[in-house]
Amino acid sequence: MLQRISKVDSIFVKSALFSSTILIGDAMRIFGNSRALAVQREAELFFDDEGDFAQFKVFSEPVPLPVIHEPVIMDTFQEKPVIRVGTINVKGLSAASIIQVGSTPYISMEARIHHLRQLLEREETK
């Protein structure tokens, strides 16, 4: 892992929701996961047994990751060992997102959201 120091004067985050992370410092691994059903209905009607993720394939299918065929070769030169930042302003973090001041060699973030639109039946007009 790169050995650098991050110096941030100030950081302001207005909102952090749903498996989002604010991390100050280094980490070896970061995993973030968020699942959500976004239901839009024309009529306000709710049932007790709603929200079972197992009913929807999108929540159980494997994530298709790209296959890297060529080796990655990287040379780095750190002219200055310190990263200096003034102010960071973040309006919002949500659904398996992260803001980090520091280093992490491995990050895996996943957000799965299934949108449902349920409209009232309409009579056909001729």
CB 93 within 8 A of CB 13: yes
20 burial level (CB within 10 Å; 0-12, 13-18, 19+): buried
Query: pLDDT tens digit string along 67-114?
Result: 988 988 888 887 888 889 999 999 999 888 999 998 888 998 888 999
Query: pLDDT tens digit string along 21-43?
Result: 899 989 999 988 889 988 888 88
Query: pLDDT tens digit string along 5-18?
Result: 889 999 999 999 88
Residue 6: both structure tokens together = 């991050």
Rounded CA separation 24/33 (Å): 19
Q: What is the structure's pLDDT at 90?
A: 95
Rounded CA separation 123/104 (Å): 57
Task: For residue 108, give the nearest of 13, 18, 21 by alpha carbon.
Answer: 21
Per-residue pLDDT band for 1 (boundaries 50, 70, 90) equals: low
CB 112 within 8 A of CB 35: yes
- Secondary structure class of 26 (helix, strand, coil): coil
Q: What is the structure's pLDDT at 2?
A: 58
96 burial level (CB within 10 Å; 0-12, 13-18, 19+): buried
